[in-house]
Structure 1
Amino acid sequence: MKNYIILALLALLLSCKKEKNIPARNPVPENDSVVFSKIEYKLDKSSVFGVYQLTDKDMAICIPVQFNDQDDPLSVKYEKFLVKDSLPWIYRREMKDYQYYDTFSAGPWIYNKRFEDVFKKEMKDSYFVYGTKGSQKSEIKRIIFQSTECGNDYIAYILNIDKKQIGNPLIASENEIPLQYGRNYKEINQSIKKSASKESTENNYGHGNYNPIVYGNYKNLYFTYYDDFKWHNRNSGSNCQFPERAIFETDSKGKVSMLWSSEMDLLGLPCL
């Protein structure tokens, strides 16, 4: 009997020793679950811009000038600059310190240090840029502009974009957008195309090839582009006259509404 008691005590002592060697774990309270950070996004139309490839090497936020629009501060400032600086090609003077930045693309684009200094203050130094494959944070590295006799003018903020990382650039945002890529958007794509086709500038004035492609979404916001990404090269044979970026919203019944859009006019509608 004594032998059994001694064996039992030895077993108990060995068991206690093993338990002491087990690393202590801090218990997690039931109500203290792991929290993953989620970015909440609310569309602010004034903080989103269309991004386009202007030349073989340059991709930029392109902002159209709205002449005689007193509600558009950037356009008002642009008009005042035209008058104050007496742009040479408008007033038939020599170019002086203005230089053509690029004449081979769908431009021409012009650079002037005074212009850059003035309009650099109107934008942030960096933006979240989203493309066909992904996103990155990019900085503004140069500011150029396009001015035509018929008033089809643009201010372009060139960004340092890595196309290998994000694909073809589409939009820039002051705020980060938790955009979801890679879903099957076939059904919503058809709904958006059907909804937006009648109002499309490309269908009404261009070659009629408007086909918006959904590349990502955030909840019920769908981000689209219409672009062949070739038009910056005049010899590419592009049939895209009005490249576009847009954001659509769907309601609980599936109704589609356009909330925001950006468009380039390559045809020159003011001249028609």
Structure 2
Amino acid sequence: MYYEIHDDGQGNKETVILSSGLGGSHSYWHHQLPQLKSRFRVIVYDHLGTGQSQGDIPQGYSIADMAREVVVLLDQTDSERVHFIGHALGGLVGLQLAAEFPNRVSSLLLINAWDKTDENTKLCFEIRKSLLRNSGVEMFFKAQPLFLYPAEWMKNNAALLKEEADKVLSLPFNQDNLLRRIAAVESFDISENIDSIRCVTGVIASCDDLLVPYSCSETLHKKLSHSSFYLLEKGGHACNVSDPVKFNKKMLDFYNEI
């Protein structure tokens, strides 16, 4: 898999790995890297079948498969134990990793994540899959910001969103890979094993998240044994992009407390 390592060149630091959501891109964390690399050795990566991690995702692909891919990546980067930050799908990968490989995870920071996929989230994915199948790739990516960002932010960043959509549409696209990643999200359910996760965890949620109701994060927080909950009033699903200042404060609050 494609990955990058960022630090400030001082060495002898703990490692944090960042795992993005459905898009799977390492570049999703652009606004968090400056704050994190002053404190950690930072790993960002493209999920298998996305970005520069080219490859065909098999039928029946799961969040557990994604977690095992992270273990391989940790071995490749000599990262025995890491702090894990995950957004949405990436947060599910972190939960699975902590449950299955607890000795590899020092802490979790989960953004708009959940322990069992909510019916509202499944409905949103049904709409997105229908757009992809019936209206085409271009319409799918044009509609994507509606599920990620607040309306006012989209209005103020229309040029940026068009630039990002044009960039995505210029790259090779594997529809089967995307649909199999969505299927992995839809079938995720770690609710019966959640008590096996013992590491310190932070849960960040946005009140105005359209894709994942913030109550899902609240439920996750209550089920985890060593969890802190941070609620943002605004920011939508991709709150670390739409409001990085407030998000980064919550992120650093978590690391200052553990």
Q: Give the TM-score of the pair, scaled to structure 1.
A: 0.26
More strand by share: 1
Structure with higher RCO (Cα < 8 A, 6+ apart): 2
Structure with the higher fraction of residues in helix conformation:
2
Q: Give the TM-score normalised by the residue count of structure 2.
A: 0.27
| Higher-Rg member (1/2) | 1
